[in-house]
Amino acid sequence: MKKYAFNEITTIQYISLINGMTVSFGFIEIPADLHKKAGTGGLISLLLGTLVTMAASLIVVQIMRRFPNGTILDMLTRRVGKWAGRLAAVVIAAYFLFYGYIGIVYSTRVIKARVLQETPAYITLFLLLIPTYVVARNGFRVLGRYAELSIWLSLWIPFVFLLVWRHTNWNYLFPLLERGWLPILKAVPDTFFYFLGFFATTLFYPFLQKKEKASFAILTANGLTMLSYLFITILSFIFFSPEEMKEVNQPSIYMLKTIELRFIEQVEGLFIVMYMLIFSMSWIPPFLLSSFCAAWLFGRADHRLFLRVLMIGIVLFSCFYVPGLNTTYALSDKLTKVGTVLEYALPVPLLLFFMLQARISRKRSRRRRL
Amino acid sequence: MRRTAFKLALSLIAAVCLAGCYDKVDMEDVSFSLVVGIDANEENGIRTFTTIPVFSKNAKKKTQELKVEARTLRESRDKFDAFSIGSFNGRKAQVIVFSKRLVQQVPDWFRYVDVFFRDGRNPITPKLVMFDGDLEQLFRYQSPDQPMLPLMLIGMIESASSRSESVKTTLQELHRQMYDPGQTPYLAEMSIEQDAKMKGTALLDRKGKYAATLSLRETTYLRMLQMTSGPAVNLTLPLPSSLTKAPPDKSWISLVTERVRTRIKPSYSGGRFRFDVRIRISASVIEKLSHIDLDKLQKQVEAACAREIRGKFEELIDKFQASAVDPVGFGIYARAYEYAAFRGVKDDWGKAFSEADIRVKVLVSFADEGSVK
């Protein structure tokens, strides 16, 4: 039974999807966050966080390997019970809705603060939703293509950042262990926020063209995420003096503001606009996944109805209220907590449960044979 | 049919919304402030100046200069707005001029430029100058043989800085220097004597208060210490009479540096920081006012030049230590490699620096002796 055929995504699309979802606005925020919590030693926290994430993603892939032709929802229904599948659908739909909402509000806030100061936030948000619908209504294959395109179109980003090279000073990086090991270890769970999104594997898995490559793909995606974070974090740490780092919000954008080119001013404005491709990965896939789960819950194959409801809901809500940047940060803290439980912690007992179940049923069948 | 109608409706909505981009600005409707001047008033508040280019055929003067009293820069924008034709806007500011009085008298004056950092659309790349005198003098200054004020200021800063005779501190660099405990801020200084001219570099202390001025020549040495000197720095040095067999101060040699490599090694012992500074200069001889034979005496002349340059560096460092400022950023090295000791003096690095033991070593080697013997 191949329920999800004709909507397959290739390995590279899958990598782009996971990489895009995880990086998105983390690229703007992570240096300041790491520095606040662990000084320049935050680099070590980042590496440790990547290792934990890689382990967690492998666990997710291991779970999905046990039921290659269905999503986690189908799997829970089959193996645990109908109610478990439904509960999971509600939880995952809500989670990705929350995830995507934070992404789109954050992007709106950045545009509002840096590019379109006088345009009301809800109009910016509404305008962002139009391409979202165009991409998300077509399902996973188009989404995968969009993700791949976004990544290819964003490969210029590191080169722009190299233009700030003359302002850097490697001495700012030392001492790495300014406050000892404790803050570094403590900051590791905080890096999880910047890796959230790999859980989408539980829904993407049946659509994968080459399922045997899933583990490799997810490790590559995590590795790419780590590389982009490492790049921007090291650059910020050698660009800002340690005390200055505490004074600057969104260091990645601040750095670009120092670039002076003869033919263009305010490079950061252009950057933000072009970076929308990556920003959009923090809400387009989650909104699609959310409506996919909702459609599954009601047993419908077409997710578009739910996508429309979701978007109209967001637009109407935004007319009355668009969270401020600080509220968005507070919401992301909540998302970190929920996400850590859902993406990092829950898969472990789930995998153990499935392993146990498999063993019991194997024993049973052996006994029957005897 | 329904699909087409839907698409049409969608694009219509998009078109309507896009037309509502509230941030559209037409050039004709804006007055760009290119130079912002901040002076202290009598109550230690600020008085702001600006100059706006006038795009009009009929205008005799190509710029409009304005002066207002306001409590903050953003407030002064509203006041400027009343004078200017278009809506006034500081997003294209190229140069910010602080008066010496502001830097000297107003405590915590750096907070006045906060709006440049906080407002996401303001630039943080304007170049900074400290003006020794009344800003009124600078903004009313109209030399018949100079271009308009913004262009003149930019040109002077750029050219002096590219020859390493002054510094090009941008707003962003000042921000870094102000927040870095291991370094003190510095910015270009200018004044009007006969004509507008660069004076050198103003050194500020940890709190941003004016501390000392470096001449153009001293700035060259500062830039070499900072490793920010361009590839071609001019040095004119006297040759000692022991070598030239001529009366002293009559023989000169001019060098153009090809490469300057500076290494600073920090250490800490007995409650005192020590910095070993090693500067290797390879240079070409570009001028020689002496009959000395460079082929024969190259090593000796190189050593004599090194001694001379070393003396200049030591004088300069003595000057820093006397006014407890560290524009080179020795503290950055101390922080990176002697953090335990640095942490104790972090809040008063200037004092710790003035007590530090700094030893300079200079090596000069000639790469080229020129096209005549």
Residue type, B185: P
**Ramachandran angles phi, psi of B361, nearest 5°:** -125, 130
In this prediction, residue A1 carries a pLDDT of 40
Region A313-334: what's the mean pLDDT?
A: 92
For A2-18, b where at least 16 C-beta lie within 10 A, e where not — what string?
eebeeebbbbebbbbbb
Report the pLDDT value the prediction gives residue A3, as an integer from 0 to 100.
58
Which chain A residues are within 8 Å of B18, Cβ to Cβ?
Answer: 127
A241 CB neighbours in chain B (<8 A) are 176, 179-180, 182-183, 332
Does A1 fall in a domain? no
Residue range B295-338, pLDDT digits in tens: 888 888 889 899 999 999 999 999 999 999 999 989 999 999 98
Amino acid at A306: F
Q: Which residues on chain B are in Cβ contact (under 8 Å) with A242? A: 180, 335
Is residue A4 predicted with pLDDT exceeding 70? no
Residue A4 belongs to some domain of the structure: no
B19 has pLDDT over 60 = no
Q: Which positions in chain A have a beta carbon within 8 angstroms of at least one beta carbon in chain B?
A: 113-120, 123, 126-127, 130, 167, 169, 171-175, 178, 240-244, 246-247, 253-254, 257-258, 260, 265-266, 269
Average pLDDT over residues A157-179: 87
pLDDT of residue B91: 83
| Residue B42 confidence (pLDDT) | 84
Q: Domain spanning B227-373 has what CATH number? A: 3.30.300.210
Q: How far is B292 from chain A (nearest CA, A)?
A: 41
Range list for CATH 3.30.300.210 in chain B: 227-373
CA–CA–CA angle A187, A105, A189 (5° rounding): 15
Average pLDDT estimate for A226-250: 91
- Among A146-150, A183-187, B11-15, B226-230, whose mean pLDDT is lowest? B11-15
Closest CA to A22 of A223, A184, A204: A223
**B15: closest chain A residue by CA:** A127
> CA-CA distance, B340 to B255, in Å (whole number)?
41
Average pLDDT over every residue of B115-125:
88
CB contact under 8 A, A115 and B18: no
Instruction: Let me know: does B335 contact A169? Beta carbons within 8 Å.
Output: no
Round to whole Å and give the CA distance between B92 and B119.
13
The H or E element that residue B286 is part of is strand B272-289
Tell me the per-residue pLDDT of A92-117, one tens digit each, with 9 for 90 and over.
999 999 999 999 999 999 998 888 88
Kindly report the average pLDDT of chain A as a whole number: 89
Mutate to test the interface with B, among A176, A258, A260, A262 (most CBs of B within 10 A): A258
A84's tokens? 């478990």
Q: What is the ipTM of this complex?
A: 0.86
pLDDT over 50 at A66, yes or no: yes
CB contact under 8 A, A244 and B179: yes
Q: What is the count of structural domains for chain A?
A: 1
A241–B125 C-beta distance less than 8 A? no
User: In b/e form, how buried is each residue of A285-322, taking b as 16+ CB within 10 angstroms?
Assistant: bbbbbbbbbbbbbeeeeebeebbeebbeebeeebeeeb
| pLDDT, position B16 | 67
User: Considering chain B, what percentage of its residues have pLDDT values greater than 90?
Assistant: 27
Chain B residues in contact with A113 (beta carbon < 8 A): 120
By CB atoms closer than 10 A (0-12, 13-18, 19+), residue A108 is buried
Query: Considering only A293-297, B81-85, B263-267, which range has the smallest mean pLDDT?
Result: B81-85
Q: Which domain holds residue A251?
A: 11-369
Distance from CA of A225 to the nearest CA of B (A): 27
Q: Nearest C-alpha of chain A: how many angstroms from B6?
A: 13
